[in-house]
Amino acid sequence: MDYRDAGVDIEAGRAFVEGIRNLVASTHRKEVLGGLGGFSGCFELPVGYREPVLVSGTDGVGTKLKLAQQLNRHDTVGIDLVAMCVNDVLTVGAEPLYFLDYLASGKLERQQLTEVVAGIATGCKLAGCALLGGETAEMPGFYQPGEYDLAGFCVGIAEKTQMLDGSQVEAGDIAIGLGSSGVHSNGFSLVRKIVSDGNFSWDYCPEALSGNSPGINLGEILLTPTQIYVKPVLAAINAGLSIRGMAHITGGGLPENLPRCLPEDKSISIDPSSWPVPAIFDWLAEAGRVSLPEMFNTFNMGIGFVVLVPPNQAEQTIKWFASQDMPAYAIGEVVEGTGGIFGLPQG
């Protein structure tokens, strides 16, 4: 008896690592020391920081993986994985430096997992960070055939004196919402229940969702990867825009995430009619008979990231993001309060 008899193929694992070597190398920055295959990844701190602070974040993709596995499409969830981590790190003003992934499956399916890593590499390029390494675990008996799970870990850097911690936010600041690419990677347990209970197929093509792409099906729309906001937001800061607070709108939507960038003595008033809600959310609400308050408490509803700016820079900020092909909307205003949010539909 050997390890292969127990369901773990070491040689296949080695071949997989060798096969993704070029994908990993394509993301490397000049600060990366060494290559793939060691016990650890090494990264030299960038020059030019007086008081550098390392900022870390970790996340997964959630049950959106179930959809990818059902449709046998694995090239986008890696982008989701990177996005969920780097967008979080960005909220304090940090630049993502490097990323590591953890990829576990019952049996190493080389083509399937190579597609996953290709997506991770694409996400790293979109965020400007290096894929420094990772772990591939083959765990027979733990996952069903064809199933895998993903987790990611990101480290970024920020100048200590320039980090955003809520104290910079003032009453009157304007909340600029940056458009999402769709459902992103949150709320998929509800999405899957809506589709299952309604006896819909992932191949179903709702007329209301076809837009300019007739024939696009529900599965393709929902697998659209999470928008990565790193480069346009960092470029906005470098262009001199005064961003005083930032929030990544993930699970819990605007009600849970937007207050996290506020000081305790400030609240924020939101106008939910100030941006266009993508059609996928209207379809989910109707198909699942989901109330509007529940939709806002579960999904991003078309706003994936929020930046807070002084009122005299609101119009300039919107125009600047538009020049970067990033839809942006003035969605609310910071007011005196107790750290809450109001103006959204209430249950």
CB 57 within 8 A of CB 85: yes
Q: Bridge partners of 150?
A: 103
pLDDT of 115 higher than 80:
yes
Continuous segment of H or E residues that includes residue 12:
helix 10-19
Which candidate, 129, 156, 143, 131, places its Cα nearest to that of 53?
Answer: 156
Distance separating the N- and C-terminal Cα atoms of the chain: 60
Mean pLDDT of 20-37: 84
Which candidate, 275, 266, 277, places its Cα nearest to that of 333?
Answer: 266
Q: Bridge partners of 59?
A: 152
Instruction: Give tens-digit pLDDT for 55-99.
Output: 999 999 999 999 999 999 999 999 999 999 999 999 999 999 999
pLDDT of 312 higher than 60:
yes
Kindly report the number of other CB atoms within 10 A of residue 172's CB atom: 12
Total residue length of the chain = 347
pLDDT of 8 higher than 80:
no
Residue at token pair 């989901």: 290
Alpha helices in the chain (DSSP H): 10-19, 21-25, 64-71, 77-90, 110-127, 188-197, 207-210, 218-222, 230-238, 253-257, 279-288, 292-298, 314-323
CA distance linking residue 62 with residue 247, whole number of Å: 20
pTM above 0.75, yes or no: yes
**Which tokens is 21 given?**
């070597």
pLDDT score at 56:
97
Range name among 3-12, 95-104, 284-293 with the lowest pLDDT average = 3-12
pLDDT score at 236:
96
pLDDT score at 45:
93
SS3 39: coil
Instruction: Give tens-digit pLDDT for 42-63.
Output: 999 999 999 999 999 999 999 9
pLDDT score at 270:
97
**Which tokens is 79 given?**
């982008």
Range name among 15-29, 104-118, 259-273 with the lowest pLDDT average = 15-29
pLDDT score at 96:
98
Which candidate, 233, 242, 226, places its Cα nearest to that of 172?
Answer: 242
Confidence of residue 286 (pLDDT cuts 50, 70, 90): very high
Instruction: Give tens-digit pLDDT for 155-191.
Output: 999 999 999 999 999 999 999 999 999 999 999 999 9
Q: Is the dihedral of CA 110, 112, 117, 121 positive or negative?
A: positive
- What phi, psi does 124 have (nearest 5°)? -65, -40
For a pLDDT cut of 70, what percent of the chain falls above it?
96
**Which tokens is 54 given?**
């390392």
CA distance linking residue 208 with residue 294, whole number of Å: 21
Confidence of residue 12 (pLDDT cuts 50, 70, 90): confident
Q: What distances in angstroms separate CA 231 from CA 77, 124, 128, 256, one per listed residue?
A: 20, 11, 7, 25
Instruction: Give tens-digit pLDDT for 117-159.
Output: 999 999 999 999 999 988 889 899 899 888 999 999 999 999 9
pLDDT of 16 higher than 90:
no
Query: Strands 174-179 and 303-309, how do they pair?
Result: antiparallel
Instruction: Give tens-digit pLDDT for 192-249.
Output: 999 999 999 999 888 777 665 666 889 999 999 999 999 999 999 999 999 999 999 9
Which residue would you say has higher pLDDT here, 140 or 328? Answer: 328
SS3 159: strand
- DSSP label at 275? S
pLDDT of 3 higher than 90:
no
pLDDT score at 57:
97
pLDDT score at 21:
81
